[in-house]
Amino acid sequence: MENTKLKKIKSTLRQAQGSEFIRKKLKAFSLAELVFVLGIIAILYMLVMPNQASTVAMAKSIEAKSMLNQVYSLERNYFFMYSKYSTSLEEIGFEQERLSTEGGQANYRIEVAEASSNTFIANAVAVNDFDGDGEINIWQIDSDKVLKEVTKD
């Protein structure tokens, strides 16, 4: 009985080997086709990446604008209390976050460039060159709340 079962299995295997199902080739991509597609993807990636650098710089400049607006508010409060503007960030109550060069997250160093009884100018100077072109990004705000980019990155 066991011998007949074994014969049936062998016979079925022989039929399957000769069938069209086993002889069919599997459809697949060739190596040349894969390399071609990867090349196209690489070219598209290279076209998109330069645009990303400017987007990153714009996103980081939001940090500078935000901190300068905070300095403006603190300077205005100081002006209303003492009738003059301060050259000291500590006097107005501004606390500089740790810079990215010092293990922190801030990308801009804030400084009061000039202050008098009537006006002040504060700068946000980037501590890194975001796009690697040798230019450091600088933003500036004055006592009239005019916020401008002095040096583009």
pLDDT of residue 22: 53
State the Cα–Cα distance between residues 38 and 34, nearest whole angstrom: 6
pTM comes to 0.66
pLDDT tens digits for 24-37? 666 788 899 999 99
18 within some domain: no
List strand residue ranges (DSSP E) for the chain, in order.
108-115, 120-126, 138-142, 147-151
98 within some domain: yes
**How many domains does the chain fold into?**
1
**What percent of the chain has pLDDT above 70?**
87
42 within some domain: no
150 within some domain: yes
23 within some domain: no
**Average pLDDT estimate for 112-124:** 95
Residue numbers of the domain that contains 153: 48-153
Residue 13, pLDDT > 70, answer: no
10 within some domain: no
